[in-house]
Amino acid sequence: MSFTDCEECEHYEDEDECLGCFHSDDWVDNFVPITPEKKEDRAKEQKRKFIASITKEEISIVPSPEFMDRLKLAWKFATKVEHENDKLFCVYCGKDYLMASDTYRLAKIEADCLEEFVGKHIVWDDVEHKLYVRPADHVSPLSDGQAQEVLDNAKGYEIKGLKSTMPFKDIPLDGIDKSETHVRLNYAVRLNKSYVNDVLDAIPDDEEIIIIHGGKLEAIRIKALGIDAVILPVRE
């Protein structure tokens, strides 16, 4: 029997097609590669359903374009719909920063937050292009001090320089899924490349970067003007 990623099939979660499909020579193989358009539509519908399921209130205030740019940057680090982590499906607004995490990485981003947003958890619906605020009693590690502790406790050896000098080396991802790659920091710490890129993409080419890392299995911290982030390593 072959191994197939059913989520890449056009019939995913279609009981009529899935129940009789075993991906082998002995049974009918109903696998049909999904088109990029249908895959995007499926992801949007999944997001709509999840957002509809959480407690929230739509925000009527129209923030500045500058704030929205910072919010969208922070939203990259928030938990994804497929993780179904209601507590972290948000961005926390401090007085002069935004904070988000998906448990694999954490980012604190400088931002001039509206007074009405300070101390609140914001949801950015990038499908319907709407902003929501979570209930006042919504508590997360972003607001109770745990996230800041993670940043403060990431200590170790420092590497300073520009993006062009950062010692990240591309390596292929071992295993079945070849759609991603990992990078190594100083040939030791293995990291998800997309996580690293999300941080580096937010930093201008001429801005100094400070990377702090301890052991092979410890989180690394990437600091620059306007952003402070922690990324957990990939365990080998």
188-209 pLDDT tens trace:
788 999 999 999 999 999 999 9
Q: Are 95 and 72 in contact (CB under 8 A)?
A: no
| 72 in any annotated domain | yes
Retrieve residue 147's tokens.
Answer: 């996230």
Strongest mean pLDDT among 34-38, 119-123, 212-216, 231-235: 119-123
Q: How many residues does the chain have?
A: 236
Looking at the 3D structure of the chain, how many domains does it have? 3
Task: Report yes or no on 145 lying in a domain.
Answer: no
For residues 166 and 200, state if they share a domain: yes
Distance CA 225, CA 68 (A): 18
Nearest-angstrom CA–CA distance, 188 and 196: 15
Cα 12 from Cα 186, distance rounded (Å) = 41
pTM above 0.85, yes or no: no
69-73, 177-181, 203-207, 220-224, range with the lowest pLDDT: 177-181
Residue with tokens 């205030």: 61
What is the span of the domain harbouring residue 78? 57-100+110-135
Specify if 71 maps to a domain.
yes
